[in-house]
Each structure stands twice: as structure tokens, then as C-alpha cells.
């Protein structure tokens, strides 16, 4: 008996993608402790969520995540700026409540419309983002331009927004990252 071949059958391919199974025979069971649900994802994209830093994952590459998504952080203790990484100005307030978001465009939640949210330069320095380094003379002009034209869309191309898999994390009591020029290459 010859069985029909459904491997390229469009509705099944679409269903497989919806299930997050990237390869055939690959399927990860949804685990609400480790995976964001639809409601959480949409809140992160719009209004943001309030969490304390201790509820977040401090990834070993210096960025932050909640469950399987990287996030950006706004803290009322650093008005005007939002954070990409585990920078000193955040870590001094480990119990503080912050706003976390995955918004790639438009206003960062927590900011009012008349304030332009600026990316934190300490975070860029910590990550060595695209070679960012304000401590080296020959890199200052380049780094200032990178700061001015910073794009969250681009950031999440370098540090994959979602899903975050297989990246180690550390607890915030461990010594914070030393300044490094670590360049992330994504999760894959
Ligand atoms: Zn920062």
C-alpha cells in the first residue's frame, strides 16, 4: 500500500510552524514556566510588564530574558534611559520593580510621549555592541554615532529576541560581567 506523502502539505506545514516545530519530527511541549504564552508576548510588545530584576533571567552574555524571550528594561531610577544589559546602574537596585518590554519600534513603555527614550550607553559598552567602546580614543566618534542611531530592531537581530535557547545564565549575586568586547553571534 502506498501512503500519501504529507511532508509538504501546506496546511500541515503551517500547523507545524505554529507549533514552533522548526524541523519535521521536532516538537517542544509548551511549558508555561519556560515559554511565554500569547498574552505575555503581546503585553511585552505593547504596555510592557512590571517585574523585579530578581524575577528575570540574567543571561551569561550580559542581556536579560524572561522565560524564552530577551527583553529591554526601563527603570524609574534611571529616567530618560532604557537598558539592554546587566549594567551597574540597574544592578545597584536588584529588588526594584522595572518595566520590561520587547518593543522594537515606537515608545518604550514607562516613558511619556514627550520624552525620547535613550538607550543606556553603559549597556552598549558592557556588551561591546558592534564594537561600541567609548574608552578608546579611536572608537569614540564611531561609538557616539552608534549611540545616536541605535536601533532596537537591529539589536534584536544581533541578540535574538525570541526564542532564546541554550544560553547559560548566572545569578545576580555572582560578580557582574567584567567589561568585555564580547560580540554575541545569536543563539543558533
Ligand atoms: Zn544600562
Please give the distance, rounded to the nearest whole angstrom, from the Cα atom of residue 88 to the centre of ligand 1.
7
Contacts made by residues 77-80, CB under 8 angstroms, sequence distance 24+: 78/120, 80/115, 80/117, 80/118
pLDDT computed for residue 173 by the predictor? 58
Please give the distance, rounded to the nearest whole angstrom, from the Cα atom of residue 3 to the centre of ligand 1.
57
Residue 4 backbone phi and psi in degrees, to 5: -65, 150
Residues lining ion ligand 1 (Cβ < 5 A) are 83, 87, 120, 122-123
What pLDDT, in 10s, does the model give residues 110-149? Answer: 887 777 889 999 999 999 999 999 999 999 999 999 999 9
Cell of 89: 546602574
Residues facing 58 on adjacent strands: 64, 170
- Residue spans per domain, the chain: 32-119+151-164
Q: Which residues of 65-74 are buried (b: 16+ CB within 10 A; e: fewer)?
A: bbbbbbbbbb
Please give the distance, rounded to the nearest whole angstrom, from the Cα atom of residue 77 to the centre of ligand 1.
11
Please give the distance, rounded to the nearest whole angstrom, from the Cα atom of residue 100 to the centre of ligand 1.
13
Please give the distance, rounded to the nearest whole angstrom, from the Cα atom of residue 73 to the centre of ligand 1.
9
Please give the distance, rounded to the nearest whole angstrom, from the Cα atom of residue 7 to the centre of ligand 1.
46
Please give the distance, rounded to the nearest whole angstrom, from the Cα atom of residue 76 to the centre of ligand 1.
12
Please give the distance, rounded to the nearest whole angstrom, from the Cα atom of residue 33 to the centre of ligand 1.
27
**Per-residue confidence band for 176, with pLDDT thresholds at 50, 70 and 90:** very low
Instruction: Say if residues 64 and 176 touch (Cβ distance below 8 Å).
Output: no
Average pLDDT over residues 35-55: 95
Please give the distance, rounded to the nearest whole angstrom, from the Cα atom of residue 119 to the centre of ligand 1.
8
Q: Is the dihedral of CA 52, 67, 117, 103 positive or negative?
A: negative
Please give the distance, rounded to the nearest whole angstrom, from the Cα atom of residue 26 to the centre of ligand 1.
37
Please give the distance, rounded to the nearest whole angstrom, from the Cα atom of residue 108 to the centre of ligand 1.
14
pLDDT computed for residue 171 by the predictor? 73
What pLDDT, in 10s, does the model give residues 54-113? Answer: 999 999 999 999 999 999 999 988 888 999 999 998 988 788 899 999 999 988 988 877
pLDDT computed for residue 188 by the predictor? 38
State the distance between the two ends of the chain, measured CA to CA, in whole angstroms: 40
Please give the distance, rounded to the nearest whole angstrom, from the Cα atom of residue 35 to the centre of ligand 1.
25
Distance (Å, whole) CA 125 – CA 103: 21
Instruction: Say if residues 134 and 181 touch (Cβ distance below 8 Å).
Output: no
Amino acid at each position: 500500500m502506498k501512503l500519501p506523502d504529507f511532508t509538504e502539505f501546506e496546511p500541515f506545514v503551517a500547523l507545524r510552524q505554529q507549533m514552533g516545530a522548526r524541523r519535521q519530527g521536532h516538537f517542544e511541549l509548551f511549558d508555561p514556566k519556560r515559554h511565554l504564552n500569547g498574552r505575555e508576548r503581546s503585553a511585552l510588545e505593547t504596555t510592557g510588564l512590571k517585574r523585579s530584576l530578581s524575577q528575570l533571567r540574567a543571561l551569561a552574555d550580559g542581556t536579560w530574558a524572561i522565560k524564552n524571550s530577551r527583553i529591554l528594561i526601563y527603570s524609574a531610577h534611571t529616567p530618560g534611559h532604557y537598558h539592554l544589559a546587566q549594567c551597574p546602574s540597574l544592578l545597584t537596585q536588584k529588588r526594584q520593580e522595572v518595566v520590561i518590554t520587547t518593543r522594537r519600534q515606537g515608545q518604550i513603555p514607562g516613558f511619556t510621549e514627550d520624552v525620547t527614550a535613550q538607550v543606556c550607553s553603559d549597556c552598549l559598552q558592557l556588551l561591546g555592541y558592534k564594537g561600541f567602546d567609548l574608552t578608546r580614543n579611536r572608537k569614540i566618534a564611531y561609538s557616539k554615532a552608534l549611540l545616536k542611531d541605535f536601533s532596537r530592531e537591529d539589536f534584536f537581530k544581533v541578540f535574538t529576541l525570541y526564542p532564546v535557547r541554550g544560553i547559560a545564565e548566572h545569578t545576580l549575586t555572582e560578580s557582574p560581567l567584567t567589561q568585555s568586547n564580547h560580540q554575541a553571534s545569536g543563539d543558533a
